[in-house]
Amino acid sequence: MHGCGDAPRRSGEPMYAKSGYGQSNLQRYKAVKIQTASPAQIMLMLYDGAIRFAQIAKMKIGENDLAGKGTYIGKVQAIISELMSSLDFSIAPELCTQLQQLYMYMMEQLTEANIRLKTEPIDVVVGLLTTLREGWGQALTSLPSDPTLNRSPSMSGQAGSDGESTPPDPEDYTV
């Protein structure tokens, strides 16, 4: 036996079995990881996801998998939309305006890739996302004493329209 009352996995059974609530253990792990992450760590996760999905979309274009291409470009666009909606113009209006324009440019590039079946616009988006991700990574390591960067969203006072802390749902950005 595997201990803790777990039955051995049967042949053909998924490695990450469903829990009692219909979520796999891996999905629950990802959800907890996001719920306990700081806002800066969530930003890194969003950038990582967008980069990964953009690379998959590029691969799908090469395979002429139109449905897969559309799915993954849509995931990248959803993440970029989330990044745009998280901009706080009251804190740094000029920076937010520049980031918003950059995000809108990325959305245009992704639309171009989707319509024309071209990978070059995806390369542009991956390059921009990688640069932004590196900047956030450096900020996270160079400013560890800033409490707003290190607190989890539930502690930072950020609230959604329901008054509760609402970090992005990990299932929106997973394969």
Q: 0.85 exceeded by the pTM? A: no
Give the model confidence (pLDDT) of 64-97 as tens digits.
999 999 999 999 999 999 999 999 999 999 999 9
Question: Got the DSSP string for 118-149?
Answer: -SHHHHHHHHHHHHHHHHHHHHHHH-TT-HHH
* Cβ atoms of residues 81 and 40 within 8 Å: no
**Residue 104 CB contacts under 8 Å (≥ 6 apart), including other chains:** 84
pLDDT value of position 51? 98
At the topology level, CATH places domain 38-140 in Four Helix Bundle (Hemerythrin (Met), subunit A) (1.20.120)
Tell me the pLDDT tens digit for each residue of 104-124.
999 999 999 999 999 999 999
Rounded to the nearest 10 degrees, the angle between the axes of helix 93-116 and helix 39-62 is 20
The domain locations on the chain are 38-140
Helix ranges (H only) for 36-65 are 39-62
Question: Exposed, middle or buried, 130 (CB in 10 Å: 0-12/13-18/19+)?
Answer: middle
Dihedral angle sign, alpha carbons of residues 21, 68, 111, 118: positive
Contacts of 65 (CB under 8 A, 6+ apart): none
pLDDT digits (tens, 9 = 90+) for 41-59: 899 999 999 999 999 999 9
Would you say the C-alpha torsion 28, 50, 65, 60 has a positive or negative sign? negative
What is the three-class DSSP state of 63?
coil
Question: Tell me, what's the pLDDT at 84?
Answer: 97
Say which residue the tokens 């997973």 belong to. 174
What mean pLDDT, rounded, does the chain reach? Answer: 79
| pLDDT mean over 15-27 | 61
